[in-house]
Amino acid sequence: MNGARWLAQALVAEGVDTLFGYPGGAIMPFYDALHDTPQLRHVLPRHEQGAAYAANGYARASGRVGVCISTSGPGASNLVTGIADAMVDSVPMVVITGQVPTALMGTDAFQELDVFAMTMPMVKHNFIARRVEDLPTMLGEAFRLARSGRPGPVLIDLPKDVQLADASQLPEHVSLGTDAVEQPKDASLHAALAMISQAQRPVIYGGGGINLGSAVQQFRTFVDATQIPTVLTLKGLGALPTQHPLNMGMLGMHGSRAANLAVQEADLLIVVGARFDDRATGKLAEFAPQARIVHMDLDACEIGKLRQADVGVRGDLITTLTKLTLPCAAHLHGRNGTARKAWRSQCKQRAQQYAPRYNAPGEGVYAPALLKRISELAPNAIVACDVGQHQMWVAQHWQMSHPQKHLTSGALGAMGFGLPAALGAQEACRDAQVVCVSGDGSIMMNIQELATLKRYRLPVKIVLLDNQALGMVRQWQELFFDKRYSEVDLSDNPDFAAVAEAFGIQALRVDKAAGVDAALQALLNADGPALLHVPIDTAANVWPLVPPNHNNAQMLDPSHTEQETTDALPA
């Protein structure tokens, strides 16, 4: 029993069943130990970044801790972007990196990097195991920290000699579980109730903390009971189903017109598990200028960080929402009820008036319509997005049923996320329909993971929107840089269908709107992994768009005039 074998058995005791990793010299003892640990399924992506994103997707889709492994040096540094993504999107991960033997640390040995210092700003905590006796405490703490409170990644740097050291004296590993969640104070709940009861134009602003706190059902009950119009962040999408009558849509830079106007006119924002991100608020000084703020969050650091809260309610969102639901409903249906009813009707009318239009002219494929349609054909699918225009189209047009089924690189905006995250989600949810939506720029960043899909027969379905450009950058250069296009041309893309087939992946293609339904049906019915290549118009843009340093009422959208927006706002 050496350190590596003890670690493998301890991972099993923590409930881990799947690892994503790439072997190398400094982590080789652990890979040898996998021979004796059949309870651990190891998935070999073709790049360490793919391993980190796969563990990330596994955790997002399942709610469990994702685990990824690499060797030292370049293996560890290749994990960094995936670790950073997990940190800023609050994804529970444990990352184990091999390290040169302790006697060589600090000598610039072959494949030595100070991964401890390198990752310190982007983890909840990190450890260096300098003795085999350190392993029990470190592993238990790593998993406890990763999944407790606001989740996030934790890293263990594991020197090779510690892996090889005698561990026969170490105890069997016992999980430390998860810390108890702090409960909201009664005084803050009473203050929130008093403020909510006074509002005439309230709006609920829901974010990713709803899903992180396992409070989706309580959030839906709160919305239904209070009948308050609701807007959602990118990470909050699905907390209310897309078709819910009180769901005004996503707010922010590419949010819906109905959502942004509601927030700008509200006299109270009930913020639930959201953090006033700049992409959601636009120009912060002009965000919701008439609104008082009730901010509910587990993380005290978020309350008052960017917008001062009139009432801050720190604690478990399940308890907070449950305790406020009936009292809020009773108060809201009493005093000021007439004003709130008129407000609700106005918000719903705007949602209908500014609903997306899918009757785009021309014979070509209209990406928003295609994405809406595939979400209707596969209503229970998990969708994993890359980053760019297609990411925003998914957010705007996919019919979301639950936030755990929408995997997207939110705060980091990391291209190359979608494909490996999708394969991680498929490993976590073996019977689920998993769809990866990518663009021609993003897919090339981790296209090697097509080989992983093929090897493990993971039936991920890929929708590749190909506009032969770095679309979001091109759109910004068009709008804000006088059409001075710089390094966005991807017209020399490979034949993506041929590339997929070279990896052994079934490939389909559709370039006409009339063929979309048949192509999507064929994609979803394909046996095993498959890719649908969809050429689209290079000039297609994402609308609406709030320009930088503007407030959310100042939306650009060719389908609606500026005067319509102005007329919709109060005098």
Q: Which residues pair with 406 in a beta bridge?
A: 383
Tell whether 319 and 410 lie within a shared domain: no
Tell whether 324 and 379 lie within a shared domain: no
Say how many domains are in the chain: 3
3-state secondary structure of 126: strand
Has residue 360 been placed in a domain?
no
Has residue 179 been placed in a domain?
no
Q: Could you tell me if 462 and 529 are in contact, meaning their C-beta atoms sit under 8 angstroms apart?
A: yes
Tell whether 147 and 192 lie within a shared domain: no
Tell whether 333 and 384 lie within a shared domain: no
Q: How far apart are CA 356 and CA 559, in angstroms?
A: 10
Tell whether 261 and 371 lie within a shared domain: no
How high is the pLDDT of residue 142? 98
Has residue 564 been placed in a domain?
no
Tell whether 465 and 347 lie within a shared domain: no
- What would the pLDDT profile of 151-163 be if each residue is shown by its tens digit? 999 999 999 999 9
Chain mean position to CA 481? 30
Tell whether 209 and 297 lie within a shared domain: yes
Strand order in the sheet with 125-128: 41-43, 18-21, 66-70, 93-99, 153-159, 125-128
Tell whether 341 and 375 lie within a shared domain: no
φ, ψ of residue 187 in degrees (nearest 5):
-65, -40
How high is the pLDDT of residue 448? 98
Q: Which of 321, 353, 385 is the last residue of a domain?
A: 353
- What would the pLDDT profile of 293-308 be if each residue is shown by its tens digit? 999 999 999 999 999 9
Comparing CA positions, the residue from 411, 363, 412, 408 lying closest to residue 390 is 408
Tokens 């389909």 sit on residue: 508
Tell whether 227 and 304 lie within a shared domain: yes
Q: Could you tell me if 171 and 110 are in contact, meaning their C-beta atoms sit under 8 angstroms apart?
A: no
How high is the pLDDT of residue 568? 47
φ, ψ of residue 528 in degrees (nearest 5):
85, -165
Burial per residue of 436-472, b for 16 or more beta-carbon CB atoms within 10 angstroms, e otherwise: bbbbbbbbbbbbbbbbbbeebebbbbbbbbbbbbbbb
Q: Which residues pair with 270 in a beta bridge?
A: 204, 294
How high is the pLDDT of residue 49? 98
Our separate counts of H helices and E strands in the chain read: 23, 18
Q: How far apart are CA 29 and CA 37, in angstroms?
A: 13
Tell whether 381 and 342 lie within a shared domain: no
Q: Could you tell me if 391 and 298 are in contact, meaning their C-beta atoms sit under 8 angstroms apart?
A: no
Has residue 552 been placed in a domain?
no
Has residue 491 been placed in a domain?
yes
What is the pTM assigned to this prediction?
0.96
Strand 268-272 with 247-250, pairing: unpaired
How high is the pLDDT of residue 74? 98
Q: How far apart are CA 122 and CA 136, in angstroms?
A: 23
Q: How far apart are CA 282 and CA 44, in angstroms?
A: 41
Tell whether 263 and 201 lie within a shared domain: yes
Has residue 328 been placed in a domain?
yes
Has residue 562 been placed in a domain?
no
Range of the domain at 144: 3-164
Q: How far apart are CA 98 and CA 73, in angstroms?
A: 8
Residue 287: CATH number of its domain: 3.40.50.1220
How high is the pLDDT of residue 430? 96
3-state secondary structure of 289: coil
Q: How far apart are CA 61 and CA 52, in angstroms?
A: 14
Residue 60: CATH number of its domain: 3.40.50.970
Has residue 476 been placed in a domain?
yes
Tell whether 39 and 107 lie within a shared domain: yes
| pLDDT less than 70: residues of the chain | 334-335, 560-571
Catalytic residue numbers? Answer: 48, 110-111, 160, 472
